[in-house]
Structure 1
């Protein structure tokens, strides 16, 4: 490929953007101990890292038009590096949340849309397709390498060094960014502030509501928030339901606002008519589901391996390694298959493999993890994600003309990070909520004396934290239980963790099946359609420009 330094620079930035989540996931138990925090707090930090990006990605794409895409890319890279440095030096979870979940996220919303648009500016024809494939491979490589990098560095050095390395990489990206051409340059685009507020608030309400479902309950209140001594559950309905409904209403108001702006000849934050393109609509939906499943898998498996089995970060990375290697291999294979197979066929094979992988993992997880099916399941999951990653980016970006590439890049960023946020929030909440229910049931049917059961029930009335199963006996003895009771409580807790993991895997299967249903609009032609075919009605009829 000619002009390879450009894709190397943009690919390096893309690698760092994706690396963070997988690195932090395998380091959960170590970070919890280092910062004296909880798995719940880490779930919130992981969720809000991607939620910040999802909520502000459309604004980031517009700022790329206003400032120029290369300038936005450079500014975003600097902000991201500052966030990484803050995270590396964080003395507590509050500073980590600020540096990682907020500042890094704000930098990423400028970088990610710019990457997609700058690829279109710097490459044409087959070289452009190859460049998008390389960017997708960089994302896949980050997902694949993250667990091993994070596991090794966390075990033998400190998880903080990963963020120091990110600062160094982003410094090189900024230093060599002049090699990147920005043909569009800065454009006088007006940004509608109300649209930004409506979209950001809507997404935050929906995702935060789902995140808190493990505590508040979905519909029937369980442990509602308390203000001035009064539990908040309007009309006897959980605040989770109200948050999701309010968020949905705000998102609908955002859509109405975009239509009104267009009707009055003002610039919308996003062109809603893009969603009439069946190809793009299907691609974005599949992208959202793909990242929801990836985030859910990368949250639940490290929790299982570290908290239930007691593995360290490196051992966790090694257990996840089959997924890592197959993701890279099948990303390459998917690019090759695209020469003879249609994107729809490749993507649907990937979706079916994800369902298969979830079933394999469902049967493999237990307290000792002796079955080889776990490694096979992780390999199959990586193969599925690799096939999806090899196709989705080009399907979406080739759905529109070059003048809308920045906007679609922003939409890709929104759906990608919204999927990650929803995956971590939803699967994490299912995992933690099921753990509480299963533990309470296990204690009630255990061999523990009745008075001990009452003590445990009172101690866990507000919910059950995810802690290492091996630490339960010490916690039990501190609460006054004898050795036999402590051992029984450890057995109940470990069994409850396994049951919660299995319920979470069933949730992944449901998401994978829904994704399969929504992939009908992915192109069935080998090589897809030309970029000049940019409009398609809801019924699938096409209008050539």
Structure 2
């Protein structure tokens, strides 16, 4: 079918679109798996490669800095160079970087491989999201596509815990890197032969070099500041310096973007009320989610004594909830109700699930507390994430879909960095306070160990209480700011950002 015919009748079934979704989803699964699978393997890799305790954080930090710092650049490259080409190059580069990490013989090779993974991931992720945005233009088809995509994006991290545990326990930590290679090769080959990027969706403007430099340095400084805050403290000189540098660089970036003819990030993309609400609520939700993964992993392994594999399986109710919320609730209601009536209640249901988890004790029953808590959390997050991802590029020009998609990734990446640093600080402070108050009454070694464990649980629950509040805030923001109409219905009036005159896709909404 010709492109013109497809635009005239966007709801006409096209088998290639669904084949494309398979390969895009496979690539997304690989990226999400990598966010947790390497963490499981880190202790073994550290021992084999002789990485010091002081340097081991760079296995995670090198990836986070490259990925977070280059996302906006990667999104704009996809718009300028073509999303299909960027997607394939990102996959191939990610595979090669993974091979380098799996073959690493020293810490320098490992850190370099992780940085390369992050850099190619910053090309891959926005390209994948924007490919969905310009491929699925019919409201009902898009709801189904993003239901599947949202389930993978939400539940892949928990699957990574299981896979990482299996590979580390039964094979070798190097396979947590090598496993990416078949994923990437299959996705790249399939994408090359199946995906057909719509004509006219590429941006033909020049690259905003000052914007690239300022945004990259600013985001790197911001992510690194939160990373140092976790390990070195919030008042440490370098940490404060990173935050000051990030603020100066990002404010300068906004000023430059308001002046240049072809900005890296057109400010109208983030100034729209609905998109701004989505970026903000997603970022907050990720802070809460990172807290959950972090503290429940510690709780299950350190307090309950679960193995890595058993820990991964313990997260499966959350995955099931996410899949149900995304593919059943979100998909079925996306074209019937406004997005805020899925996002807001979804985040609030997730907050209820998180609230249950504040009741953790050393001897807490998994079936009585953790199981229902994780089910509700997954159900709420899956229901909220699906419309958020689908609506994140509403009303933007197709030529800007890549950078708009990159903003979603950026809000999630920054949210993850904030969540790890902030909630860890809260937990550590509560743990230290509890131990100080109670250790004096522990006369035996067994009693002292019990106080230590109770202190850790107190720290986890204190941080989870904070995460509950963050999820409630995300729900309120979604209900208040996200004012878009349901997909396929008449779009609301422009939000005063000047986008009313923009060229849009065949219907008012293009999916993230």
Whether TM-score is above 0.5 comes out as yes
Which residue of structure 1 lines up, in the alignment, with residue 333 of structure 2? 337
Moved more, 161-170 or 418-427: 418-427
> For 2:46 and 2:377, how far apart are their aligned partners in 1?
27
CA offset digits 1:306-356 (Å, max 9, x no partner): 233332111101221211111111111221122433211111111112221
Matched, 1:309 2:269: no
Which residue of structure 1 lines up, in the alignment, with residue 247 of structure 2? 248
From 253, 264, 270, the equivalent of 1:269 is 264
Which residue of structure 1 lines up, in the alignment, with residue 116 of structure 2? 103
Matched, 1:208 2:224: yes
Q: The residue matched to 2:310 in structure 1 has which SS?
A: helix
Alignment of 1:439-478 (within 5 A): 439-443=435-439, 445-447=440-442
Which residue of structure 2 lines up, in the alignment, with residue 114 of structure 1? 127
> For 2:267 and 2:365, how far apart are their aligned partners in 1?
51
Q: The residue matched to 2:457 in structure 1 has which SS?
A: helix
Contact 1:121–1:181, Cα closer than 8 Å, also in 2: no
Larger Rg: 1
> For 2:167 and 2:40, how far apart are their aligned partners in 1?
11
Alignment of 1:463-502 (within 5 A): 484-485=444-445, 487-502=446-461
Contact 1:27–1:150, Cα closer than 8 Å, also in 2: yes
Which residue of structure 1 lines up, in the alignment, with residue 277 of structure 2? 282
> For 1:206 and 1:253, how far apart are their aligned partners in 2?
14
Change (3 A) 1:353 1:134: same
> For 2:204 and 2:322, how far apart are their aligned partners in 1?
41
> For 1:353 and 1:317, how far apart are their aligned partners in 2?
23
CA offset digits 1:1-49 (Å, max 9, x no partner): 5212211111111111111113234555555665566888666544553
Contact 1:330–1:383, Cα closer than 8 Å, also in 2: yes
Matched, 1:157 2:171: yes
Post-superposition offset of 1:433 = 4.9
Which residue of structure 2 lines up, in the alignment, with residue 417 of structure 1? 413
> For 1:30 and 1:431, how far apart are their aligned partners in 2?
26
Which residue of structure 2 lines up, in the alignment, with residue 142 of structure 1? 156
Matched, 1:179 2:194: yes
Which residue of structure 1 lines up, in the alignment, with residue 100 of structure 2? 86
> For 2:354 and 2:339, how far apart are their aligned partners in 1?
23
From 67, 71, 77, the equivalent of 2:85 is 71
CA offset digits 1:397-443 (Å, max 9, x no partner): 23423232222122222222222222223323433454445445554
CA offset digits 1:121-173 (Å, max 9, x no partner): 43432334433333223323423422332233333333432321211110112
Post-superposition offset of 1:509 = 1.7
Change (3 A) 1:529 1:49: farther
Which residue of structure 2 lines up, in the alignment, with residue 199 of structure 1? 215
> For 2:348 and 2:448, how far apart are their aligned partners in 1?
39
Which residue of structure 1 lines up, in the alignment, with residue 66 of structure 2? 52
> For 1:526 and 1:65, how far apart are their aligned partners in 2?
26
- What is the count of residue pairs matched by the alignment? 482
> For 1:297 and 1:47, how far apart are their aligned partners in 2?
20
- Residue ranges of structure 2 left out of the alignment (5+ in a row): 1-12, 503-512
Which residue of structure 1 lines up, in the alignment, with residue 358 of structure 2? 362
Contact 1:357–1:377, Cα closer than 8 Å, also in 2: yes
- Residue ranges of structure 1 left out of the alignment (5+ in a row): 225-232, 234-238, 449-483
Which residue of structure 2 lines up, in the alignment, with residue 385 of structure 1? 381
CA offset digits 1:485-520 (Å, max 9, x no partner): 4x3442232222112211221221232122123212
Post-superposition offset of 1:544 = 6.2
Which residue of structure 2 lines up, in the alignment, with residue 478 of structure 1? none
Q: The residue matched to 1:354 in structure 2 has which SS?
A: helix
Contact 1:51–1:417, Cα closer than 8 Å, also in 2: no
Moved more, 175-184 or 327-336: 175-184
> For 1:530 and 1:18, how far apart are their aligned partners in 2?
35
Contact 1:151–1:317, Cα closer than 8 Å, also in 2: yes
Contact 1:58–1:269, Cα closer than 8 Å, also in 2: yes
Contact 2:73–2:264, Cα closer than 8 Å, also in 1: yes
CA offset digits 1:159-195 (Å, max 9, x no partner): 4323212111101122222321133487554323332
Post-superposition offset of 1:246 = 2.7
Change (3 A) 1:52 1:507: farther
> For 1:267 and 1:158, how far apart are their aligned partners in 2?
48
From 484, 494, 505, the equivalent of 2:464 is 505
Contact 1:62–1:189, Cα closer than 8 Å, also in 2: no
Contact 1:47–1:421, Cα closer than 8 Å, also in 2: no
Q: The residue matched to 1:537 in structure 2 has which SS?
A: coil
Matched, 1:16 2:30: yes
Which residue of structure 2 lines up, in the alignment, with residue 325 of structure 1? 320
Q: How big is the alpha-carbon RMSD for the aligned residues of Structure 1 and Structure 2?
A: 2.9
Q: The residue matched to 1:153 in structure 2 has which SS?
A: helix
Contact 1:15–1:141, Cα closer than 8 Å, also in 2: no
